[in-house]
């Protein structure tokens, strides 16, 4: 049996304490401070709890590092990287999924190897919308648009629609936002033929600590930011910890925009939103004029995630025309090409119809 000895130390000077029978208290041998048994037990329990919590924290941090390394190795072993020799797009998928064509230019892709753990996402939002729903949304989007090239809505083209996880950087944090403005209250009245105007000028200030959560920026240079912003927002309640199983049967674009490169775009969105909040809190004035403002980041954290997008790209006369649909909510948007021949025929037909109508109208008027 192990016998533990405990030496109590003075809370004031850290010297040894000794129990004094006459006083019925613990007394410091150095500074003569006196403490009851309850005082010492309470202080000892606090120190012991702090020591144990520190040990637990260090153990948890070590376990987290081990788990992170394990997941990185697992990701590297289970992932495959296909590269398009034509446009350079990189597609991540699980080792059991065989990708044959690039989702951007439809060129046959080649397996180029495995990925290092740095490309392992932190989170993912799984697909909720099916291929059938994506195809129906594309057809509905093109419905009634007569100037589209003939092949744009062909079955062969629709078959190229791809379930693609797009890389995103999601930043959360807090900002200290400040706004100084000048508010004007204007009152006018008339006395006889004279009109009087009274203008009062007020100094207006607003300050707020604002929290922002998962402000996104896509991590692919090949996909226009405005295109991805058009299908936002994603429902972040659907976020899951990343698992390779979600990539079964579909691929993920490998990010080529780093978190540092994405930061200015995200920061601009945060600052714009913070400014709107402060300006929206100013009311009761005829007009306001902003004089000075500042928005400073207090805390910020960025995570790497994959968000679901149904993607279809059509190349017409050397230019790409993409259609995208949010794979979670169904919001969609596309850039549509215009057939030069159909545009000419439509214009010619319209000209002929107008000519006939004018001829008939002229015949009626001069009959």
User: What is the pLDDT at residue 137?
Assistant: 92
Residue 292: its pLDDT value, please? 92
Nearest to 142 by CA among 340, 332, 329: 332
What letter would DSSP give residue 105? T
Residue 58 is predicted with a pLDDT of: 59
Alpha-carbon dihedral of residues 334, 335, 340, 343, nearest 10 degrees? Answer: 60
User: pLDDT of 139-184, one tens digit each?
Assistant: 898 887 766 777 677 787 788 888 888 999 999 999 999 999 999 9
Average pLDDT over residues 60-66: 57
Rounding to the nearest 10 degrees, give the CA dihedral for residues 150, 151, 154, 160: -160
Q: Please give the pLDDT value at position 28.
A: 79
Q: So where are the chain's domains?
A: 17-70, 71-346
Structure tokens that stand for 314 in this block: 């059509």
Provide the pLDDT for residue 360: 57
Token representation of residue 256: 């080529």
Q: Please list, in sequence order, all residues whose beta carbon lies within 8 angstroms of the beta carbon of residue 187, skipping any fewer than 6 positions away.
A: 197, 198, 199, 200
User: Average pLDDT in the 278-299 region?
Assistant: 92
Looking only at the bridges linking them, the beta strands covering 251-253 and 34-35 are unpaired
Q: Is 236 exposed, middle or buried, given 0-12, 13-18 or 19+ CB atoms closer than 10 A?
A: middle
Higher pLDDT, 89 or 259: 259
Q: How many CB atoms lie within 10 A of CB 135?
A: 17
**Residue 62 pLDDT level (bands cut at 50, 70, 90):** low
Residue 308's pLDDT band, with cuts at 50, 70 and 90, is: very high
Contacts of 338 (CB under 8 A, 6+ apart): 147, 148
pLDDT at residue 44 is higher than 60: yes
Whether residue 269 is predicted with pLDDT greater than 50 in this model: the reply is yes
| pLDDT, position 339 | 46
Nearest partner of 161 among 310, 349, 331, 281, judged by Cα: 310
Q: For residue 346, what pLDDT is reported?
A: 43
Higher pLDDT pick, 65 / 11 = 11
335: confidence class by pLDDT, cuts 50, 70, 90: confident
For 191-227, how does the pLDDT look when each residue is reduced to its tens digit (9 = 90+)? 888 999 999 999 999 999 999 999 999 998 888 888 8
C-alpha atoms less than 13 angstroms from C-alpha of 163 in its C-beta half-sphere: 19
pLDDT at residue 41 tops 80: no
Instruction: Find which of 107-116, 243-252, 277-286 is predicted with most confidence, using mean pLDDT.
Output: 277-286
> Are the C-beta atoms of residues 314 and 157 closer than 8 Å to each other?
yes
Average pLDDT value for the chain? 77
Q: Is the dihedral of CA 99, 103, 106, 110 positive or negative?
A: negative
Whether 231 contacts 333, CB under 8 Å: yes
d(C-alpha 43, C-alpha 223), whole Å: 60
- Give percent of the chain with pLDDT exceeding 90: 37
Q: Is residue 163 classed as helix, strand or coil in its secondary structure?
A: strand
- The predicted pLDDT at position 266 comes to 94
pLDDT tier for residue 4 given thresholds of 50, 70 and 90: very low
């Amino acid at each position: 049996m192990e016998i533990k000895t405990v030496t109590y130390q003075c809370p004031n000077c850290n010297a040894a304490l000794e129990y004094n029978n006459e006083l019925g208290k613990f007394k410091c041998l150095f500074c003569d401070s006196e403490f009851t048994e309850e005082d010492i037990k309470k202080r000892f329990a606090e120190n012991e709890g702090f020591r144990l919590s520190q040990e637990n924290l260090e153990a948890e941090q070590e376990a987290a590092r081990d788990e992170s390394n394990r997941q990185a190795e697992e990701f590297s072993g289970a992932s495959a990287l296909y590269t398009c020799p034509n446009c350079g797009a990189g597609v991540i998928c699980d080792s059991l999924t065989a990708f044959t064509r690039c989702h951007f230019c439809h060129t046959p892709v080649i397996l180029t190897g495995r990925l290092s753990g740095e490309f392992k996402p932190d989170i993912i939002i799984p697909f909720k919308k099916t291929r059938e729903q994506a195809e129906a949304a594309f057809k509905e989007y093109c419905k009634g648009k007569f100037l589209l090239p003939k092949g744009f809505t062909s079955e062969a083209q629709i078959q190229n629609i791809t379930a693609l996880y797009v890389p995103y950087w999601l930043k959360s944090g807090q900002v200290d936002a400040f706004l100084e403005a000048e508010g004007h209250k204007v009152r006018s009245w008339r006395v006889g033929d004279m009109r009087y105007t009274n203008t009062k000028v007020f100094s207006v200030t607003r300050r707020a600590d604002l929290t922002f959560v998962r402000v996104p920026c896509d991590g692919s240079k090949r996909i226009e930011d405005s295109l991805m912003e058009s299908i936002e927002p994603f429902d972040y309640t659907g976020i899951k910890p990343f698992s390779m199983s979600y990539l079964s049967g579909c691929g993920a674009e490998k990010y080529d925009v780093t978190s540092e490169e994405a930061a200015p775009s995200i920061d601009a969105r945060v600052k714009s939103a913070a400014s709107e909040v402060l300006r929206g809190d100013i009311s009761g004035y005829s007009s306001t004029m902003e004089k000075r403002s500042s928005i400073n980041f207090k805390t910020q954290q960025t995570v790497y995630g994959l968000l679901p997008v149904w993607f279809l790209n059509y190349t017409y006369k050397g230019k790409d025309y993409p259609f995208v649909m949010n794979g979670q909510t169904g919001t969609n948007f596309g850039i549509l090409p215009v057939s030069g021949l159909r545009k000419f025929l439509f214009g010619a037909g319209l000209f002929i119809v107008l000519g006939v109508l004018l001829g008939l109208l002229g015949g009626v008027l001069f009959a």
